[in-house]
Amino acid sequence: MNEYISLNQIKKGEAVTAVRVSGSSSTVRRLTDMGLVENSIIECVGRSPTGDPAAYLISGAVIAIRSADAQNIKVRRRENG
Amino acid sequence: MGETVIALAGNPNVGKSTVFNGLTGMKQHTGNWAGKTVANASGHFKSGKRSYTLVDIPGTYSLTAHSPEEEIARNFICFDKPDGVVVVCDATCLERNMNLVLQTLEITENVVVCINLMDEAKKKGIDINLALISERLGVPVVGTHARKKKSLAALVDAIDGLPHGKEVCRTDYPREIEEAVKIIEKKIPEDCEVSRRWLALRLLDGDLSFKSEIFEREGKALNHLQIRRAVSEAKMYLDKSGIPAENVGKIIASRLVEKAHEICDGAVTGETGYYKTDRRIDKIMTGRITAFPVMLLMLAAIFWLTVKGANYPSQLLSDFLFGLQDDLSGILTKLNAPSWLHDCIVFGVYRVLAWVISVMLPPMAIFFPLFTLLEDSGFLPRIAYNLDRPFSLCNACGKQALTMCMGFGCNAVGVTGCRIIDSPRERLLAVLTNSLVPCNGKFPTLILLISIFFAGSLFSSLTSALILTAVIVMGVLATFFATKLLSETLLKGKSSSFILELPPYRRPQLAKTLVRSVFDRTLFVLGRAAAVAAPAGLVIWLAANITVGGATLLQHCSDFLDPFAKLMGLDGVILTAFILGFPANEIVLPIILMAYGAMGTLPDLGSTAEIGTALAANGWTKATAVCVILFSLMHFPCSTTLITVKKETGSLKYTLVAAILPTLMGIIACVIAAEVMRVTGFC
């Protein structure tokens, strides 16, 4: 069984499935509006020049999320990336 | 019969404004970043059947408001009860957009779904079965590519068809939630003008801003106590069923995302996502090594084009306008105008006006379109993305980079734009520091001073552009400094979150952009400057010509300020000019020149070289120019901006902070710079 990791730990090009989305209620709501819910598939597509925030592909759109917020999103690695 | 009101809703970056412009023919500027439309804009259009008022509401991802601009959008759909809502969706990212459609359907049945950017989707190999989606939603679905006006005809037909009277798709929630909704719904009177189900859902998920709004607006119809009781009863029921109150919002939102997937499942084929070209551009625009140099390079390139391109037309305009002066003078003489009136109009009003136009218009007419191209192609969100880290170190939000960029055009616009920032504290930080980036009104002065004093000859526009870029970077650093300072003192707090969509890059429409930015922005800003310049010219002329006790009023004023100004490396005249330039930054330099000029009038300033000579004759050195540039960068914002700050913050205290903070920074910077330059002998 795969272990859960935080979204901010995944590398560029890696795809994961969201398992638990937590954080402040407004942040969670904002993420949900962007289409990030439990079971969403997320791919890290890049990092900003300073390394934080990072950009993720979520339901067809590229969304920038700060590491501090991504930390509260638990994900599971997908079998074949 | 009144006009039928149609609201235009949609996620940010879906081409909503383009649809709006296509339908109404109005020239609203389109944007490619979240939060372009920060207030409701409205326009009119006619079909064969009816005439309509179209209201373009701010782009939002959902109708549960997070930020003031989203509140505007929600309140309009919910409480202003338009006769119909057109939800514009992005065909390349339909599933995500469907969320807003579903939420809108919970409020009203009179919805038309407009799937825009069909051409882009086609290029990317995405195929959308419009009929199937329409069937699933129960509302008309129209595919458009709004840049081609013809494709909007079907949309107009669909709007004409409202109300369509069909049963629309309703998002079903888990059984427990549905039961809880029923408990509340029962207590909402039938005649409540807002959808009862939607109202119950919002009361259940604890949307606070909504709660206060609903009781304020529908207070008469709703029995507070009864409803509050029903809400707690419903929550208790949920709690017993194993759903804690704080999870309700999340469950509702997740279900909407799921439902959106169900609607699109099988109706949308092809890979949606992040495309090769975008990946390639982002690799450079946001690359670890390349990002910052590329941003600087782009900035420098824009300034170079502005400086280089503005030179010649500026000269032409000035020759032309100052040539007209003789005609005006001739007419006045013929009319037997007394000489004081003649001088007042010709040397006061007309010259300042002519100067402002000839110096301002060309750089603006080049800078605005260039900047608009940058905006429209989707670069600005990347700048926010790159700069989020530095802003978060100042306990602020990366979206402040967007409002800062808007400030380059006009600080008042930048201040209004701060509505896109969710956290009130971070929004205030952005509002109060906005004027530290120079607006368009300051550019011509900066460009002129730089080319006279530092770039050597007129032709070294490259040097000018580079120095100007350095000045802008200084403004950005000052913004960081002031933001940090405020967040450590007046506005203490931790930075909240930063979640921003990086939309696909889009090729901007060159011709349209040019026309629009010239007409909407350039002429608008110029008009405002001219409106201020004419009366200011009069006042200044009077001040420079009315003599009291052996000296002119202007003289008295500048003598009074002189000792203080000298400390800052300026002189009394310059400081007076900055104060008199409060209504518009554009007129600072003309005031200075007029005050220096013999007879108290603006000298004939046909060329940059002549202005240089005039300034040098009045004791200007490179050191003076440095201090003027510094103070120009950092001083109280213009009156329009301050009024906007007052409007946005609703607080006199913060308006004062917005004026005093940059002024203090400017004074300190000038005093230090003057002292350093005096000691090191740089001049």
User: What kind and span of H or E run contains A31?
Assistant: helix A25-33
> pLDDT tens digit string along B49-91?
888 988 888 888 888 767 777 788 888 888 888 899 999 999 9
What is the extent of the structural domain holding A46? 4-77
pLDDT for residue B223: 66
Distance CA B595, CA B606 (A): 17
DSSP-assigned letter for residue B423: S
Distances (CA, A) of B225 to B53, B188, B230, B245, B406: 38, 11, 9, 19, 46
Distances (CA, A) of B72 to B81, B82, B99, B400, B660: 13, 14, 18, 20, 31
On whether the CB atoms of residues B508 and B377 are closer than 8 A, the answer is yes
Q: How far is B57 from chain A (nearest CA, A)?
A: 18
The mean pLDDT value for B659-671 works out to: 96
pLDDT for residue B30: 42
pLDDT for residue B605: 57
pLDDT for residue B361: 81
Strand partners, B136: none
Q: How far is B176 from chain A (nearest CA, A)?
A: 20
- Which amino acid is located at B68 in the chain? P
The total of structural domains in chain B comes to 3
Q: How many residues does chain A have?
A: 81
> pLDDT tens digit string along B85-110?
999 999 988 999 999 999 999 999 99
User: In chain B, which among 52-71 make CB contacts under 8 A with chain A?
Assistant: 61-62, 64, 66
Strand A61-65 to strand A73-77: parallel, antiparallel, or no bridges (unpaired)? unpaired
> How far is Cα of residue B389 from the mean position of the Cα atoms in its chain?
22
On whether the CB atoms of residues B160 and B47 are closer than 8 A, the answer is yes
B200 against B28, higher pLDDT: B200
Instruction: Rank B46-55, B543-552, B627-636 by mean pLDDT and report only the highest.
Output: B627-636
Identify whether residues B71 and B206 lie together within a single domain: no
Q: Residue A61: name the closest of B8, B284, B94 by CA.
A: B94
Cβ-based contacts of A58 with chain B (< 8 Å): 96
The total of structural domains in chain A comes to 1
Identify whether residues B154 and B181 lie together within a single domain: no
Q: How far is B14 from chain A (nearest CA, A)?
A: 12
**Digitized pLDDT (tens) for each residue of chain A, 81 residues in all:** 457 999 999 999 999 999 999 888 888 888 988 889 888 899 999 999 999 899 999 988 899 999 999 999 999 988 654
H helices present in B418-546, as ranges: 424-433, 443-453, 461-488, 510-516, 523-545
Neighbouring C-beta atoms of residue B626, cutoff 10 Å: 22
Residue B526 has pLDDT above 60, yes or no: yes
Residue B152 has pLDDT above 80, yes or no: yes
B173 touches chain A (CB under 8 A): no
pLDDT for residue B568: 94
Kindly state the tokens that stand for A13: 């090009």
pLDDT for residue B29: 45
B496 touches chain A (CB under 8 A): yes
pLDDT for residue B37: 45
Residue B42 has pLDDT above 90, yes or no: no
Whether B253 sits inside 8 A of A51 (CB atoms) is: no
> pLDDT tens digit string along B205-239?
876 667 777 777 766 666 677 888 888 888 889 88
Average pLDDT across chain B, whole number: 85
Distance CA A38, CA A36 (A): 7
> pLDDT tens digit string along B246-277?
788 888 888 999 999 999 999 988 876 677 88
Cβ-based contacts of A21 with chain B (< 8 Å): 250
Residue B140 has pLDDT above 50, yes or no: yes
Kindly state the tokens that stand for B438: 């120079």
Identify whether residues B46 and B193 lie together within a single domain: no
Cβ-based contacts of B91 with chain A (< 8 Å): none
Whether B253 sits inside 8 A of A61 (CB atoms) is: no
The mean pLDDT value for B378-395 works out to: 93
Distance CA B671, CA B254 (A): 58
Distance CA B368, CA B514 (A): 9
Q: Residue B189: name the closest of B234, B221, B232 by CA.
A: B221
Domain for residue B282, yes or no? no
DSSP B141-177: EEE--TTSGGGGHHHHHHHHT-S--PPPP-PPPPHHH
Identify whether residues B199 and B138 lie together within a single domain: no
pLDDT for residue B632: 96
DSSP B523-573: HHHHHHHHHHHHHHHHHHHHHHH-EETTEEHHHHHHHHHHHHHHHTT--HH
Domain for residue B252, yes or no? no
pLDDT tier at B604 (50, 70, 90 boundaries)? low
Instruction: Rank B345-349, B359-363, B525-529, B556-560 by mean pLDDT and report only the highest.
Output: B556-560
Q: Which of B93-97, B371-375, B589-593 has the lowest mean pLDDT?
A: B371-375
| CATH label of the domain that carries residue A36 | 2.30.30.90
pLDDT for residue B158: 92
Identify whether residues B401 and B464 lie together within a single domain: yes
The mean pLDDT value for B138-142 works out to: 94
Distance CA B572, CA B619 (A): 12
Cβ-based contacts of B246 with chain A (< 8 Å): 25
Identify whether residues B210 and B309 lie together within a single domain: no
Cβ-based contacts of A71 with chain B (< 8 Å): none
A8 touches chain B (CB under 8 A): no
pLDDT for residue A60: 84
> pLDDT tens digit string along B275-315?
788 888 999 999 999 999 999 999 899 888 888 888 788 88
pLDDT for residue B218: 67
Buried b (16+ CB within 10 A) or exposed e, B92-105: bbbbbbbbbbbbbb
Residue B520 has pLDDT above 80, yes or no: no
pLDDT for residue B607: 67
pLDDT tier at B149 (50, 70, 90 boundaries)? confident
Q: How far is A57 from chain B (nearest CA, A)?
A: 7
Q: Which residue of A has its CA nearest to B393?
A: A52
For residue A60, give the nearest of B62, B93, B250 by CB distance: B93
User: In chain B, which among 231-260 make CB contacts under 8 A with chain A?
Assistant: 246, 249-250, 253-254, 257-258, 260
For residue A34, give the nearest of B61, B288, B385 by CB distance: B61
B485 against B46, higher pLDDT: B485
Q: How far is B680 from chain A (nearest CA, A)?
A: 37
Q: Which of B127-141, B238-252, B330-344, B454-468 has the lowest mean pLDDT?
A: B454-468
Residue B36 has pLDDT above 60, yes or no: no
Q: How far is B385 from chain A (nearest CA, A)?
A: 6
Residue B473 has pLDDT above 90, yes or no: yes
A12 touches chain B (CB under 8 A): no
> pLDDT tens digit string along B610-626?
788 888 888 899 999 99
> pLDDT tens digit string along B405-430?
888 878 888 898 898 888 899 999 99
Q: How far is B502 from chain A (nearest CA, A)?
A: 5
The yes/no answer to whether this complex scores an ipTM above 0.90 is yes
Distances (CA, A) of B211 to A29, B144, B184, B190, B468: 17, 37, 14, 19, 49
Q: Count of CB contacts below 8 A, A vs B? A: 142
pLDDT for residue B344: 85
A45 touches chain B (CB under 8 A): yes
- CA B531-B533-B538 angle, 5° bins: 110
pLDDT tier at B31 (50, 70, 90 boundaries)? very low
Kindly state the tokens that stand for B132: 């199937």
User: In chain B, which among 500-539 make CB contacts under 8 A with chain A?
Assistant: 500-504
What is the extent of the structural domain holding B205? 175-242
The set of residues, in sequence order, having a beta carbon less than 8 Å from that of B555 and lying 6+ positions away, is none
Identify whether residues B193 and B154 lie together within a single domain: no
- Which amino acid is located at B84 in the chain? G
Instruction: Rank B304-313, B353-362, B376-385 by mean pLDDT and report only the highest.
Output: B376-385
